[in-house]
Amino acid sequence: MKNPFAEKTIYQIYLRSFYDSNQDGIGDIPGITAKLDYIEQLGVDMIWINPFYPSPQNDNGYDISNYTDIDPRFGTMQDFELLVAESSARNIGIMIDLVLNHTSTEHDWFQKALSGDPFYRDFYYFRQGKKDGSPPTNWESKFGGSAWEKLPDSDDYYLHLFDVTQADLNWENPHVREALYDVVRFWMEKGVTGFRLDVLNLISKPDKLEDDFIGDGRRFYTDGPKIHSYLKELHAETFGQSNLITVGEMSSTTIQNSIKYSNPLEKEVSMVFHFHHLKVDYKNGEKWRLDNVRFDELKDIFHTWQVAMADGNGWDALFFNNHDQPRALGRFTSDKKEYHYKAATMLAATIHLMRGTPYIYMGEEIGMINPRFSSIEKYNDIESINHYQLLQEEGFSEKETIKIIQERSRDNSRIPMQWDSTPQAGFTKGESQYPISESKSWINVKESLKQPNSIFAFYQKLIKLRKAMPVIQNGSYQPALLNEENVIAYVREDEQHALLAIHSYSPSDKTITIPENFQNGDILVSNVARNQLTAETQLEAYETLTICITK
Ligand code: ISL
Ligand code: CA
């Protein structure tokens, strides 16, 4: 079945770090409008903007205190309307980020609940502690510590799967669902054409909340009991009536559920973000324990998901980077200068030639790298700061703790966009509120746009190719060259073309045998000086090579 978003590419903007238009050192909405020429030049179809609603910013806007307004630090509603108009004039859609699983504890609903209003009390999960006064269940917050917070002067606790200032909403309550659908409709009327829905698969909690003796509680509420019926209702009540693009962020989900979420016949969401490929350097599944990348696992996850999602008519959001992840460049490859171009373009090709909708996280298109700050003062993400504490309580030295934070912190990708090599990286004419990376001296937009063979130009090419070639959009997917170590390769095929895409993650040269049927094909994508194919091909470090046969 042809998928309407198969030819599109989406660009993610972490608003506060993208471009500051008014010199207060914080990126803002007019800052996006000011850079639309750049975004258009890249060739993307839609911009996903991280949350910009009024918020105490304890979790950088994922703690929303008012769903239908703009936080003044990011601009005004007029600024937002102008952005929608200016981008749609360029055929670029706007996807906003809605957090429907929880609100800030500063939200009116929670405040009314606290003051004892029973109507709003039922908007959240308030529960009595156990007899001994301990929390209602032993569930853990994803940011560390208990998932329950006790109210002062009461035996009651409220549930927060994330920060203590992010209270989980009770989707069982039809008034909650109706209030949230109103929010979605409000933004649709503003001309928004896409929604990224935060931790969407956590909204359905079980009827009975009980201790988890084998885990942190997630197995009870991940892809929870009523999730599919809630999503069908959300779809029918809001975006289902128009042709919007919706992507659900599905934490720790399964393939079977992801197929159901994204198969168009199920009428839930257009596509899913899932994260298994970004846990292959966790130790025993733990983010805050370092391990080497298990490359075979990475390869296996890509192949398994691509094949199964195609079989089940599901649809993937394809990505290596976002605001929650350290950059893939430097994580799955070297990020040294000598490999910079090849590693960045190879990672890009891995994702962009797969079946699904590719997402580019701001700065990825110029090969931005992790700053790996060495002092805790430079970190400002709540998760990193919590774990700085927790890891030391668990016995890690300060030095070991910083090493882990350097590798894992979400701040790695949240640093300001590097527009040029000046002291503020061209991000602001004032003084940046967030630390600027030294790498701006050699990795920046100004430099990239000067060079004909830049990483940026390679991304432009991938975006254009997807639009031009139905085989990239909808062709079948078969894993290839499975026995080649450090190589991810696959065949995409339709009635007109067959593509063999080969991506080497090896830091040194590597000889492979090109399958016979591809030996006379054309080179469609390459990141090295290669213009001829031989049966035995010596791939360079981090080479990507796609061969095309026209039938
Ligand atoms: O639980 C996880 C993996 O199994 C996490 O990756 C989880 O999916 C992720 O932390 C959820 O992130 C989203 O919601 C958070 C917010 O801090 C993130 O920035 C957002 O992307 C809470 O709203
Ligand atoms: Ca600003």
How far is the centre of ligand 2, averaged over its atoms, from the C-alpha of 72 (Å)? 9
Atom of ligand 1 nearest to the CA of 59: 17
Reported pTM: 0.97
Query: For each of the chain's 551 residues, which pLDDT tens digit applies?
Result: 567 789 999 999 999 999 999 999 999 999 999 999 999 999 999 999 999 999 999 999 999 999 999 999 999 999 999 999 999 999 999 999 999 999 999 999 999 999 999 999 999 999 999 999 999 999 999 998 999 999 998 999 999 999 999 999 999 999 999 999 999 999 999 999 999 999 999 999 999 999 999 999 999 999 999 999 999 999 999 999 888 999 999 999 999 999 999 999 999 999 999 999 999 999 999 999 999 999 999 999 999 999 999 999 999 999 999 999 999 999 999 999 999 999 999 999 999 999 999 999 999 999 999 999 999 999 999 999 999 999 999 999 999 999 999 999 999 999 999 999 999 999 999 999 999 999 999 999 999 999 999 999 999 999 999 999 999 999 999 999 999 999 999 999 999 999 999 999 999 999 999 999 999 999 999 999 998 999 999 999 999 999 999 99
Other Cβ atoms less than 10 A from the Cβ of 22: the count is 14
* Residue 195 dihedral angles phi and psi, to the nearest 5°: -130, 130
Please give the pLDDT value at position 418.
Answer: 98
Domains of the chain (ranges plus CATH)?
10-103+174-377+415-458 (3.20.20.80), 108-167 (3.90.400.10), 378-414 (no CATH), 474-550 (2.60.40.1180)
Give the single-character DSSP code of 540. Answer: P
Please give the pLDDT value at position 243.
Answer: 83
What residues are in contact with ligand 1 under a 6 Å CB criterion?
Answer: 59, 62, 99, 142, 162, 198-199, 249, 251-252, 275, 323-324
Residue 505 CA: distances (Å) to CA of 346, 355, 400, 463, 489: 8, 20, 28, 22, 11
How far is the centre of ligand 1, averaged over its atoms, from the C-alpha of 2 (Å)? 31
- Residue for token digits 């894993």? 479
Please identify every residue annotated as catalytic.
198, 249
Could you tell me if 367 and 344 are in contact, meaning their C-beta atoms sit under 8 angstroms apart? yes
Beta bridge partners of 503: 488, 544
Nearest-ligand number for the alpha carbon of 431: 2
Atom of ligand 1 nearest to the CA of 142: 1
Please give the pLDDT value at position 4.
Answer: 74
Could you tell me if 346 and 506 are in contact, meaning their C-beta atoms sit under 8 angstroms apart? no
d(CA 502, CA 415): 32
Cβ neighbors of 168 (< 8 A, separation 6 or more) are 101, 102, 124, 125, 158, 159, 160, 161, 205
Please give the pLDDT value at position 269.
Answer: 98
d(CA 549, CA 551): 6
Nearest-ligand number for the alpha carbon of 428: 2
Please give the pLDDT value at position 300.
Answer: 98
